[in-house]
Amino acid sequence: MTFLLAAVGILGISASGPIIAAFPSVPVMSMAFWRNAAAALILAAPSIRKNPRAYLQFTRREWFYLLVAGGALALHFVCFMFAVRMTSVAAATALVCIQGVWIALFQSLRGVRYRSPVIIGMSVAILGVVTITGFDLGQGRTAFFGDLLALAGGILAAIYTFAGAAARRTMTTSRYTSICYAVTAILLLLMCLFTGQPLWGFDAWGWLGIILLTVCAQLFGHTAMNHLLSVLGPLTVSTLILLEIPGAALLAALLLGQVVPVGTYLGLGIILVGLVLVVRGQAKPKLEV
């Protein structure tokens, strides 16, 4: 059962990039809004039914981290989803998944000392980034700027992870997730209204894309991974999530027929090796004294 759940989770998160690229008729911010709004409503139901009065009772500290996490997640989705439509799904997914390197770097600045595999892994992953962006620069300015957006999305994902970890110290996962998605949806709604992006009026094909993204990536993918945290532990789950990189590249090739330069696949492989070293090397970090 655990193996099946892991397979469903990996397939779900891997489908995110290909689905976004396959439905270009829906604006990025509109798709991101519906993805988060629908997930927030679905995930909030159990928590509200269990204790409706306490659902929105938070301390100032909890509200602070919820707003930081929701804001970072909203900007992450915008950056990543624009990136997927500007560069290849394979490149965008690999570059945004480098968030593990940013997390390790942030922790290092806070005084956490890591073993040499983490440092080596960070260097290897950055080499992979240079490889991909170098080849994409030859594909044109649009692909290169898409790579930069994906990198920004990875940094925002790292901020979201930090804020979420702080919030979950005093909140249940379901309550935190539903409120965080709701904050994200509200911010994306404001962005859509400010920029004039439509929130409805899409054809059946566009709504199908929104539904697939919500169900596959948001509910199946992220929910499965959150559940596996209590079963397999964060280190194993972090390693499993890295399979999103080849998974998204394979789905984009099979379903969308995306062909990328051989150098891009080389960069994907280099990043994957680097991230494995970073994740495995963080098993027992030592705090500097």
Q: What is the mean pLDDT of residues 167-180?
A: 85
Strand, coil or helix: what is 287? strand
Helix (H) or strand (E) holding 286: strand 286-287
As a whole number of angstroms, the distance between CA 59 and CA 238 comes to 29
Residue 134 · residue 148 · CB < 8 Å: no
Q: What is the model's pLDDT at position 38?
A: 95
Residue 103 · residue 165 · CB < 8 Å: no
Q: What is the model's pLDDT at position 115?
A: 83
Residue 287: pLDDT band with limits 50, 70, 90: very low
Report residue 111: phi and psi, to 5°: 105, 5
Q: What is the mean pLDDT of residues 155-176?
A: 85
Q: What is the model's pLDDT at position 85?
A: 95
Lookup: tokens for 277: 């070293």
Q: What is the model's pLDDT at position 230?
A: 59
The contacts of residue 92 (CB under 8 Å, 6+ apart) are 17, 80, 83, 84, 86, 146, 147, 149, 150
Beta strand spans in 20-171 (E): 112-113
Express each pLDDT in 7-61 by its tens digit.
Answer: 898 999 999 999 999 999 999 999 999 999 999 999 898 878 877 887 888 899 9
Domain extents in the chain: 2-287
More confident position, 170 or 81: 81
Q: What is the model's pLDDT at position 288?
A: 43
Side-chain-facing half-sphere of 276: CA atoms under 13 Å: 10
Query: What per-residue string of b and e applies to 38-70 under the rule 16 or more CB within 10 Å gives b?
Result: bbbebbbeebeeeeeeeeeebeeebeebbebbb
As a whole number of angstroms, the distance between CA 246 and CA 124 comes to 17
